[in-house]
Chains A and B, each alone.
Chain A
Amino acid sequence: MSYQINEELLRFRPKMAQDKVIFNDFNLWYGEKHALIDINIAVKSNIVTAFMGPSGCGKSSLLRGINRMNDIIPVARSTGEVLIDGKNIMGSGINVYDLRKRVGMVFQRPNPFPMSIYDNIAYAPLLHDVAEEEELDKIVENSLRGAALWDEVKDRLDDSAFSLSGGQQQRLCIARALSINPDIILMDEPCSALDPIATIKIEALMRELKEKYTVVLVTHNLQQAARVSEMTAFMYIGEIIEFGATRDIFENPREELTEKYITGRFG
């Protein structure tokens, strides 16, 4: 089994990029279940980092550690640090709502609100006190352009978001995540509910987004990790087995477990 690694990605070396998110001895429990065990990795700025691994390995939980979405699960508790730009977001005095304004998130299934296309994008800016109509229009346009959706919807902004196709809905959700002008974009298996053509569009978009944002992608699709990410973490039962440049992970895995997974002998 071989993987096509994007040429641009081949030239990437981890030391070329700055650290954006650092996990220091991060542990997470759901009740009695130890879901993340001693996580120590640094997610680099302005690249795509992929978390991959079999179902239940903790990759989504790790992603949700970056915007503290694990907080909404009552039985979840954690130890250790998560630093964004050097600041511990698990520390006291951190406003979780401000944190989530800096970290956009895209989910497994497209989940636009039952509102118009325009209102979906305007939702968060309105919450965060953008009141002027002109500014709002600008944010909506820029966000939709950023998600490569503007040309398809500019004449029907008042239509229901549900009138869009699945792939368009997912790009709308990406646009909605851009509306808060974040630094980091988290994508939790964003293509798992989409057809191959829509997937190609979203992957192309990820490569564009990293120019301005730090993109973290959860995927169980190995090809996808190889196609879009500069760095890949391979996770298994709550632990990071191997983390490095995507090329190294796919071509010269250090760990036997990684190699087995890459070559399809389990997973």
Chain B
Amino acid sequence: MMKLESLIEKALFLSASFSALIVFLITFFLIREGVPALSLNFLTGLEWRPGQEFFGTLPTIIGTLWVVIGAVFIALLIGVPTAIYLSEFAPFWVRNIIKSSVEVIVGIPSVVIGFFGLMILVPFIRNTIGGRGESILAGWIVLAIMILPNLISLTEDSLRAVPKSYREASLALGATQWQTITKVIVPAASSGIRAAIVLGVGRAIGETMAVLMVIGNPETPWIPTSILDMTRTLTSTIAIEFSYAEWGSPHQHALFAIGVVLFLLVTALNFVATFVIRRNKN
């Protein structure tokens, strides 16, 4: 009997080790394949011409930052007021409708959102504002839609977590509801909101498909000067080029190196977010 128990325990341990092993393997291969291509020139070079073995990723890094920062900013502009409305003002039934609609967005595959962007958004931008339509602006909108649900629900959660006693104390001092929200509730929830932003940035950096479909991905990327410019992101570069990078070629190593950069960025952001949330709880 005891023997069986310990067998079961060992089997469970093996299953549990599996996911740790996967992370280890991915990290190992990323580093083995990518690190040789990492260099100062890789990070600061202006030209990306795999055919001539120029692997400068600076335009791509800046393109990524443009797309991500803009998208997070737009998501914040819509998401924070939405969360405030949901947690402080919305009647029960309105909150239910809005929350379930927002949750539906999470369920839409990113390729579908990208397709919508390419078919509707891109022509709309081309016809009303100008440029080719495939642009940083289109990337902003598509990406903002994708990070919005998480941002709203995390922000709403942290607003709701603010003790009711703060609200009562503030109202009893003659503060209006709006004063209470801006001066007490939002500041008290701010670390939760910051964590939501960091997680949003992480998600935005890692998101590939939807963005790829609407930002144009010029063959030789340049540092964008307008939100109507086409650009590339780190993720879209890997997704587009992996299929014609030869195994073992410098091109392939460069793509792995982009993977390393992405991996480090997103891991660092998740780490920061976890730290912020934990500090919030204490």
Contact = CB atoms under 8 A, between A and B. Distances in A.
Contacts of B172: 67, 69, 100, 103-105, 177
Interface in B217-232: none
Contacts of B187: 114-115
A180 B173 contact: yes
Interface string A110-149: 0111110000000110011000000000000000000000
Interface string A78-111: 0000000000000000000111110111010101
Contacts of B174: 97-101, 124, 127-128, 180
Going nearest first, the 10 A-B pairs with the smallest beta carbon separation are: A111-B165, A101-B174, A105-B172, A124-B173, A100-B174, A97-B174, A111-B169, A114-B188, A127-B175, A127-B179
Given A69-B168, A114-B166, 8 more contacts: A97-B175, A100-B171, A104-B172, A107-B168, A111-B165, A115-B187, A123-B184, A180-B174
A111 B184 contact: no
30 contacts: A67-B172, A72-B167, A97-B174, A97-B175, A98-B174, A100-B171, A100-B172, A100-B174, A101-B173, A105-B169, A105-B172, A107-B168, A107-B169, A111-B163, A111-B165, A111-B169, A112-B169, A113-B188, A123-B170, A123-B173, A123-B183, A124-B173, A124-B174, A124-B175, A127-B173, A127-B179, A127-B183, A173-B169, A177-B172, A180-B173
Interface of A: 67, 69, 72, 97-101, 103-105, 107, 109, 111-115, 123-124, 127-128, 173, 176-177, 179-180
Given A69-B171, A100-B173, A123-B173, A113 B179 contact: no
Contact of A107 (B165, B175, B179): B165
Interface of B: 163, 165-176, 179, 183-184, 187-188
A72 B37 CA distance: 63
